[in-house]
Amino acid sequence: MIKTVEFLANGHVALIDQRLLPTEEVIVTCTTYQELAEAIRNMTVRGAPAIGVSAAGGCALGARQIATDNLAAFKTKFEEICRVIAGTRPTAVNLFWAVDRMRRVAAAHNGPVAALKQALTAEAEKILVEDLFINETMGNNGAVLLADGDTVLTHCNAGALATAGHFGTALGVMKAAHLAGKKIKVFSDETRPFLQGARLTAWELKKEGIDVTLITDNMAGYFMKKGMINKVVVGADRIAANGDAANKIGTYSVAVLAKEHNIPFYVAAPLSTIDFNIPDGSHIPIEERDTREVSHIGNRQVAPDGVRILNPAFDVTPNKYIAGIITEKGVARAPFNESLAKLRQI
Ligand code: MRU
């Protein structure tokens, strides 16, 4: 089983360094909440649920290191830690969802500081364990949508590496179908500029023994037209109340291509990825990342010095392109305002 995030007994947070995969498997141990915040910022850990779980661990780690027995002083310092961790990346709502869960534990506590530290560690553990369980359930809910013989296209990495570990979200659907004995094949977009598809999805699926073919992003239309892709399943970083879904840049283009070729396009995400506070995708903040991700591949420069570069990390797929949103509570279908709200109440 791939373990993406692990909380050690001393509160430190161990992460598989996703910047080095697939050629090196290195575990990085964050010994302070500042190190954990930097690990989210620099993509040592990435993927919406994995960011949320790591953030919870970072809050618990920071809390353990606050040196005061005074509850009010502790809560002030803890809020500062929450703010730093929540400031690492803007798009994946799981980050804010997890930090808010930690905040609520602190806000509800009136006893000794030592007990609050324990409660925060327990809450982070709970978030991690729930993530593993939710992803397996979601995988099983989505697997019924895949048929024996399907070839499924995915974009970016929405697998174990994007969650606490084990199943993942979109790849969890494929893993569950595979475990159910369906013979499926996966096409993985390489996902420029950070190459999560080439480096992470291809690595993860090979490890799981699932038939994976790597293609560059601009090949998706070619293979759809040839009838070589039957379904698309991707993850999401934030889904608005109406079902508009933000995911890795390039997902929107895949969705439009899928519509043109009558290929069902599914999004797999836990309910913690749905932001019921925003009515539609226009309210989702899109992260702009370092232009070096575009001007370079690894350490090799591939663009001229000084050329203007844009690097939005995500795009929003309008709900009209989405055949279904696979969650741990079931599959939501259009109209998503109603179906997602119903799932939330289960
Ligand atoms: O920038 P990243 O690598 O954090 O972006 C990740 C994605 O876009 C994933 O597809 C998304 O988080 C779904 S994860 C289960």
Mean pLDDT of 24-33: 98
pLDDT bin (cut points 50, 70, 90) of residue 47 is very high
Contact criterion met (CB below 8 Å) for 99 and 124: no
Residue 1 has pLDDT above 90, yes or no: no
| Interval 45-49 mean pLDDT | 98
Rounded average pLDDT over 114-129: 98
Which atom of ligand 1 lies at the shortest distance from residue 268's CA?
Answer: 15
Q: What is the pLDDT of residues 269-314, one digit of tens each?
A: 999 999 999 999 999 999 999 999 999 998 999 999 999 999 999 9
Structure tokens given for 317: 């797929």
Q: Give the pTM.
A: 0.97
Query: SS3 for 223?
Result: helix
* φ, ψ at 267 (rounded to 5°): -115, 130
> Which residues partner with 300 through β-bridges?
297
Q: Kindly give the distance from the C-alpha atom of residue 150 to the centroid of ligand 1, in angstroms, as a whole number.
A: 24
The answer to whether 18 and 139 are in contact (CB under 8 A) is: no
Q: Is the beta carbon of 171 within 6 A of some atom in ligand 1?
A: no
Domains (range + CATH), the chain: 5-136 (1.20.120.420), 140-345 (3.40.50.10470)
In tens, the pLDDT along 76-117 reads 999 999 999 999 999 999 999 999 999 999 999 999 999 999
Strand 211-215 relative to strand 185-189: parallel, antiparallel, unpaired?
parallel
Site to probe by mutation for ligand 1, drawn from 21, 44, 196 as the one with most ligand atoms within 8 Å of Cβ, is 196
Q: Does 247 sit in the ligand 1 pocket, CB within 6 Å? A: yes
Q: What is the pLDDT of residue 32?
A: 98
What band does 152 get if pLDDT is binned at 50, 70 and 90? very high
